Amino acid sequence: MTAKIIDGKKISDEIKLEIKGEVDRLREKGIIPGLAAVLVGDNPASALYVKMKAAACEKAGIFSEVIRKDKSSSNREILELVSKLNQRDDIDGILVQSPLPSQVDEPAITMAIDPAKDVDGFHPINQGLLLAGRPMFEPATPLGIIELLNRSGNNPSGKDVVVLGRGFLVGKPLAAMLSNKAPNLNATVTVCHTGTRDIASHTRRADIIIAAIGKARFLTGDMVKPGAVVIDVGTNEIDDPTHPKGKRLVGDVEFESVSQVAGAITPVPGGVGPMTIAALLQNTVKAAKLRHHLK
């Protein structure tokens, strides 16, 4: 068996086209969704990611502003900046790109963002609404994963899903979302982590495996049930002397062995990554509609 490749870029392009149509309709009403991205420091990966988000916004017709702050910026400076963005009428969504310098209190910054502009979905109010089953904004990567599953014909409803990883950004919110009672969710979810005994015994019975454990090539072919759907969230840099840069990105899944067993699999890159940006745009448009009391 050779797994079908789930093309995250293709699906994200379809979503972005839908978003553009929605933004065009909002513009006809005089409403221009706006997203502000705060980049603190000079982390190359963060800078590239913010650039990609801004480019996606521009293509969709969403106003985008990138605010760059020096890596020596104080916690107070970032809090004051967030406060000003909360008050701006041209900004519907605010994201402060992680990671932040050590002197900046990331949880405090998250708390300072107006929950109605928290398009990353990390504010405790949004996390609480998510757990209550009536979310306002869902975190972009988990939301992107659920879109990816449903749009590729792999509705998780009624399925046994194993989530590898219990992180705040992906594992925890994704497990909560997948178990919510809704036609495109409603899964039976097992969360595996460093304290789980015999992880393979869980993954071998799963219909869907979502690997967000942060370990390069952790999930191997012998851990997967034939025909299972495997979603790889990992982005790990490994040494590769054959690559022009001497390094390359791999996921949390050993693609070569797992693709010979699974029914469908996402690649790295080109799987979950593009979906995260598409989901962020979805949340930004949703924020604009909520602010203007539109459905």
Tell me how far CA of residue 94 lies from CA of 106, 165, 201, in angstroms: 14, 26, 41
Low-confidence stretches of the chain (pLDDT < 70) are 1
d(CA 162, CA 137): 23
From the list 120, 207, 232, 252, the catalytic residue is: 120
Determine the pLDDT at residue 80. 98
Is residue 84 part of the annotated active site? The answer reads: no
Determine which helix (DSSP H) or strand (DSSP E) holds 211, and give its type and residue range.
strand 208-211
| Global confidence as pTM | 0.94
Is residue 282 part of the annotated active site? The answer reads: no
CB count in 10 Å sphere of residue 105: 15
Buried-exposed string 193-222: b where 16+ CB fall within 10 A, e elsewhere: eeeeeebeebbbebbbbbbbbbebbbbebe
Is residue 7 part of the annotated active site? The answer reads: no
Structure tokens at 195: 């304290």
The pLDDT tens digits for 205-249 are: 999 999 999 999 999 999 999 999 999 999 888 887 877 777 778
Domains of the chain: 30-115 (3.40.50.10860), 140-273 (3.40.50.720)
Determine the pLDDT at residue 147. 97
Determine the pLDDT at residue 1. 64
From the list 69, 92, 97, 252, the catalytic residue is: 97
Any residues with CB less than 8 A from the CB of 293 and at least 6 apart, and which? none
From the list 16, 53, 69, 286, the catalytic residue is: 53
CB count in 10 Å sphere of residue 69: 18
- Report the candidate in 216, 98, 105 with the shortest Cα–Cα distance to residue 168: 98
Determine the pLDDT at residue 61. 97
CB-neighbour burial class of residue 278 (10 A; exposed 0-12, middle 13-18, buried 19+): buried
Pair 31, 253: CB distance under 8 Å: no
